[in-house]
Structure 1
Amino acid sequence: MATPKFDATYSAQLYTFAGKDVPWLMKKWAEQTPEKEFLIWEPKDGNTKTWTYQGFWEEINKVACGLIEKGVKKGDKLLIHSENSPEMMIAWYASAIVGSCAVTTNTRCVGDELTYFAEHSDAVGCITQPKFIKELAKNATSLPWFIVTDDNSGEPAADDQKDHRYDGWASLYGFGDVAPERPVEPMLPVGIQFTSGTTSRPKAVVHTHANAMWGGMNGAQNLDIDSSDVYLCYLPCFHVNAQSWTFWTMAWAGGTVVLQPKFSSSRFWEVSLKHKCTRASMIPFCFKAIGAQEIPEHSYKSWSTGVKLHNVENYWKVPTFATWGMTETVTHATRSFLPQDCPEMNIGIPSPGYEFAIMNPETGEYCDIGENGDLYIRGTRGVHIFLEYYKNQEAMDKSFTDDGWFMTGDQARLGEDGYMYFADRDKDVLKVGGENVSARQVEEFIGELLGMGVLEEHAIVAQKHDMLDEVPVVFAIKSAWTQLTEEEITEKIMKGCEEGLADFKRPKSIYFVEEMPRATLEKVAKNKLREMADELADKEKAEG
């Protein structure tokens, strides 16, 4: 008898979701629970629209036929540059039927960022909204065609946004009711999402159909979600939280998603009560926005908050789900167990399917309990973790060890209580209203914008902010060689950033100083600059 030649990676890729992909899942529910609500659209004007599982399946098949008519085929990349909307989600799931890969991009990005998204992804076309078409057409010139929706996530397009020559959303219909079936390939790429900018250029994270199945199954099991659950979704669907934690999870469970264009503090409880929402992903901004509102009798079973927050539980009477994940981990890589209480600010324990290691960067050894270190995870690529960084072998080589461990870039520690905790995150990565911002990227952009001889030195740091937690600000030393005034330099930076950076990356203030505080001769003491920035924020607030 021959000795079996086992391969754990091949086995996981072969068996975990054999015969299953995104179209299989959506068709299954369309046949099993055809009248069950899958997607409820709640735009700003309250003009609710609903798709049952059967209705959604029929809709995405029609749009898939339209995409095929446009020349989209298996393996192609389809750019979807849109805020939350039914069209965005219909296009994504229609792309999955075709076998193409939907590339969802951050709508707050502008200029060269759009050029990069289109060119790096090799997209064959783009679906977008009226408010974005001019900026896209100007910068994403590699795209052969655009399709523009009729409105901006339920809000009418302005007159100047209607003045374009591109086909509308309706042009995708009329080419068939049922798309041709293709063989099920769980390892086929289904989506690309770009990382949030913790490095100079966002990396294109490739998710497979198996990743989507895993995200859905794992998300449902971790939170004990079933078909009776209703998930309120207002976080942007070009990020993994809304895409995986919400949509893939609810699709796996056969549940319902209530989709809003964006977070609305004035409508949060109205929409939650109207649809008896049971789940939501909440970020600090949301708590601040609804903190002063009267708390009604509600149906929430849990809020996914990232860390355990007892003050939230005590105030709103909703259990908080402690978890950590990133675009590369697909879904919750750590989890808490909702029925059990657990320590404040923990991020849970490893979810099934993931291996964890916290390593001392100096010694290369495992950290002791309570010691901060570099967080590594391991899982099967294309199933438990992402497949690859598209067209970026250098990033793959830097991110993975030879034996498959992925360096997350986060630091964590294992507490004596057995739960995991974040260490202080890299302070050169700002967290602006839930978006990661690389200080280095903004610094490099300003340097290229101004060129030589305008600033002797400049640095980006975080300044505290009441609603966004923190915002980027610039500290700068004016060069002795420039003829520009501080006001002219400020205007040039602000105008350039408005044209070339996503709004959450743009500095909110520019402070000119005579010298920078130093950690060493070469290194700016950014901790001192952050203290200065916060003192200036307090002073500006006091002065009104």
Structure 2
Amino acid sequence: MTWTVMPTYDDYETARAEFAWDLPDEYNPAVDFLRKHDDASRTALRYEDPESGLETYSFDDLDERSDRLAAALADLGIEAGDRVGVVVPQKPQNPLTHLANWKLGAVSVPLTVLFGRDALRYRLADSEAKAVVVDPSVRETVDEIRDDCPALEHVIELGDGDSVAGDAHAFDDLLATHEPGIEVYDATPATPTAIMYTSGSTGPPKGVRHSHALWLGRAAAAYNYFDQGLAAGEATVWTPADWAWGAALGGTLFAAWHHGCTVVGWPRDGFDPEAIYELLERHDVTGAFMPPTALRMLMGLDDPEGRFDLSLETFASAGEPLTSEVVDWVESTFDDVAINEFYGQTELNLVVGNSSRWFDTQPGSMGKPLPGYEIAVLDPDTHERLERGEVGELAVRPGDRRVFFDEYHGLPEKTASKRTEDGWFLTDDLVERDDDGYVWFVSRADDVILTSGYRVGPMEVEDVILVHEAVEQVGVVGVPDDTRGEAIKAFVKPAVDDYDPDTLRTEIRDLVRDRLAEYEYPHQLEFVETVPTTTTGKIRRRSLREREGIAEE
């Protein structure tokens, strides 16, 4: 029972020619991640609790605790197919909840603690979550929105009976009052596993339903972008990214456990480069998944290899284009540390990347298709295949349909529009492929903003800003930013003539932080007399970008 889906290949062409998906007939990720290893007493998780210090968990420990939680959830009435929200940062209770869900056949809904009231309400209500496990930091918010989530029967808060008040269940007490030994749900790669939400660039965020094959697809990709260095019992990985994000949850945390490696959990506040290097040294981290924004922040500290005893072998990066300055910095600053970039979507797994082991990294390019996927550049209107050097929409076709998403939850028409008649999945990203096979990003076909590694839909930000009584109209776009890749800029037309710009600017930013997420507030805000619209009243974001001097390809 190995379920290894990506063997080692020494060269790219061999990997492309020989690799084929070989998914098992029966598959439960909880069994894969915890029970298949030769030595389940090895450390799976090293968790740095800000208050109590270091905690370590073996694969056996996680198996036993997730068994207890699964039994408790079953007593609460959670059954196969039920949705369970997970609003927990980088703490052990986050993966424990996912594992317990899958042991019951339940479906996880990963959500970030950075979400505010409106963002959480929409996702919990839309997914029809029956239960939600929450960090104490978001308990008050969940209580405020609970009446708007009619399917939500149970709130489980981290802590024990002494710290958890009201009608929420105490997470620790549930584990203490239930026994391990639950019978694991008889699952396959096609069993529903999670609903993950898109950024909502052209409307409300869409719930993307995946099956268990998702985790095998992520594990295969991680093996490549961690430079085939995920050796069981040897590699240790860490990411600053929230475990609600697919690349962090599936491509780092669960991919490492699939391969039998150790993960470091650290629910930090802020991003202190010196503290990050100290963490990498303290835990002998060999592979770090770092969005380009995080890498650019690390660049501010001189001589990290001279100041810290690092075990780093690979930086993996995603979320926004990786610039040449970052690649050059890694090559000039570290000895024998690879940097690999990869591209994917919530719906489509991780499908294109720069693999320094296989071919020369071309800074600024997205790389080449990973083994197990075909790509094509299609005419956005006709879906006809274009020649090399022509700009069109990136389309992807997997060798096994199951490693891509199943559907948009409750949106059959949206689901159908994501795929062409001959099986190509559309990305809404415009690219060009050169004669050497490298894919180069040109522009987005939608208006999604890539800021600090997060994908932000402008409509969701606009809708919240419009809640303010002093705002009549608003348009939101991304503008170039040296640190974040893109910064969110809002063009606001006030509804009143008599206003204080500084006060209104602060109120708008606080409103977005409270209702959406910390990373979604507008770093730049300009008050304008008019916001350009189409004849049907839609915001013309292209005009706003042109106003900022941002070229449209």
TM-score w.r.t. length of structure 2: 0.83
Q: Verify: 1:276 aligned to 2:284, yes or no.
A: yes
Cα offset, 1:398, TM superposition: 2.0
Cα offset, 1:380, TM superposition: 6.1
Pairwise mapping of residues 337-348 of structure 1 onto structure 2 (< 5 A)?
Answer: 337-338=356-357, 340-348=359-367
Relative to structure 1, is the Cα distance of residues 328 and 381 closer, same or farther in structure 2, using a 3 angstrom cutoff? farther
Which residue of the partner structure matches residue 5 of structure 1?
none
Aligned pair partner of 1:257 in 263, 277, 280: 263
Relative to structure 1, is the Cα distance of residues 405 and 463 closer, same or farther in structure 2, using a 3 angstrom cutoff? closer
**For 1:356, what is the secondary structure of its paired residue?**
strand
Cα offset, 1:43, TM superposition: 3.5
Cα distance in 2 for residues equivalent to 1:382 and 1:270: 42
Cα distance in 2 for residues equivalent to 1:104 and 1:350: 27
Aligned pair partner of 1:290 in 298, 301, 304: 298
Cα distance in 1 for residues equivalent to 2:408 and 2:93: 27
Cα deviation, 1:68-102, whole Å, max 9, x if unaligned, reads 12111111111111222111111111111111111
Which residue of the partner structure matches residue 462 of structure 1?
478
Relative to structure 1, is the Cα distance of residues 420 and 67 closer, same or farther in structure 2, using a 3 angstrom cutoff? same
Cα distance in 2 for residues equivalent to 1:55 and 1:114: 31
Q: Verify: 1:206 aligned to 2:218, yes or no.
A: no
Q: Verify: 1:226 aligned to 2:231, yes or no.
A: yes
Relative to structure 1, is the Cα distance of residues 279 and 477 closer, same or farther in structure 2, using a 3 angstrom cutoff? same
Which residue of the partner structure matches residue 145 of structure 1?
154
Cα offset, 1:445, TM superposition: 3.6
Which residue of the partner structure matches residue 91 of structure 2?
85
Q: Verify: 1:67 aligned to 2:73, yes or no.
A: yes
Cα offset, 1:112, TM superposition: 2.6
Relative to structure 1, is the Cα distance of residues 69 and 515 closer, same or farther in structure 2, using a 3 angstrom cutoff? closer
Which residue of the partner structure matches residue 300 of structure 1?
312
Q: Verify: 1:22 aligned to 2:38, yes or no.
A: no
One-letter amino acid of the counterpart of residue 478, structure 2: A
**For 2:387, what is the secondary structure of its paired residue?**
coil
CA contact (8 A) 2:33 2:254 kept: no
- Range with greater deviation from structure 2 (55-64 or 464-473): 464-473
Q: Verify: 1:502 aligned to 2:496, yes or no.
A: no
One-letter amino acid of the counterpart of residue 361, structure 1: P
Q: Verify: 1:395 aligned to 2:414, yes or no.
A: yes
Cα distance in 1 for residues equivalent to 2:42 and 2:101: 23
One-letter amino acid of the counterpart of residue 323, structure 1: F
Cα distance in 1 for residues equivalent to 2:536 and 2:74: 60
Which residue of the partner structure matches residue 4 of structure 1?
none
Aligned pair partner of 1:350 in 361, 369, 385: 369
Q: Verify: 1:52 aligned to 2:58, yes or no.
A: yes
Cα distance in 2 for residues equivalent to 1:495 and 1:304: 33
Cα offset, 1:284, TM superposition: 2.4
Cα offset, 1:411, TM superposition: 1.6
CA contact (8 A) 1:303 1:319 kept: yes
One-letter amino acid of the counterpart of residue 300, structure 1: L
CA contact (8 A) 1:517 1:528 kept: no
Cα deviation, 1:496-543, whole Å, max 9, x if unaligned, reads 4344332322223432234568999994622343349xxxxxxxxxxx
Cα offset, 1:335, TM superposition: 4.8
Which residue of the partner structure matches residue 540 of structure 1?
none
Cα offset, 1:407, TM superposition: 1.0
Query: Aligned residues, how many?
Result: 508
Relative to structure 1, is the Cα distance of residues 79 and 226 closer, same or farther in structure 2, using a 3 angstrom cutoff? same
Cα deviation, 1:407-429, whole Å, max 9, x if unaligned, reads 11112111222211211335832
Cα offset, 1:283, TM superposition: 1.6
Which residue of the partner structure matches residue 192 of structure 1?
195
**For 2:548, what is the secondary structure of its paired residue?**
helix
One-letter amino acid of the counterpart of residue 301, structure 1: E
Cα distance in 1 for residues equivalent to 2:128 and 2:165: 27
One-letter amino acid of the counterpart of residue 373, structure 2: Y
Cα distance in 1 for residues equivalent to 2:512 and 2:99: 34
CA contact (8 A) 1:240 1:331 kept: no
Cα distance in 1 for residues equivalent to 2:504 and 2:366: 43
Relative to structure 1, is the Cα distance of residues 473 and 486 closer, same or farther in structure 2, using a 3 angstrom cutoff? farther
TM-score w.r.t. length of structure 1: 0.85
Q: Verify: 1:440 aligned to 2:446, yes or no.
A: no
Cα deviation, 1:284-313, whole Å, max 9, x if unaligned, reads 222232223231242222111244723322
Which residue of the partner structure matches residue 334 of structure 2?
316
Which residue of the partner structure matches residue 41 of structure 2?
35
Identity of aligned residues (%): 22
Cα deviation, 1:139-176, whole Å, max 9, x if unaligned, reads 1332211111129xxxxxxx9x9654422112322222
Q: Verify: 1:475 aligned to 2:503, yes or no.
A: no
Cα deviation, 1:324-367, whole Å, max 9, x if unaligned, reads 11221223444525254232222221112212111122554322
Q: Which runs of 5+ in 1 are unaligned?
A: 1-12, 152-158, 533-544
Which residue of the partner structure matches residue 6 of structure 1?
none
Cα offset, 1:491, TM superposition: 6.2
CA contact (8 A) 2:88 2:111 kept: yes
Cα offset, 1:385, TM superposition: 1.0
Relative to structure 1, is the Cα distance of residues 62 and 515 closer, same or farther in structure 2, using a 3 angstrom cutoff? closer
**For 2:172, what is the secondary structure of its paired residue?**
helix
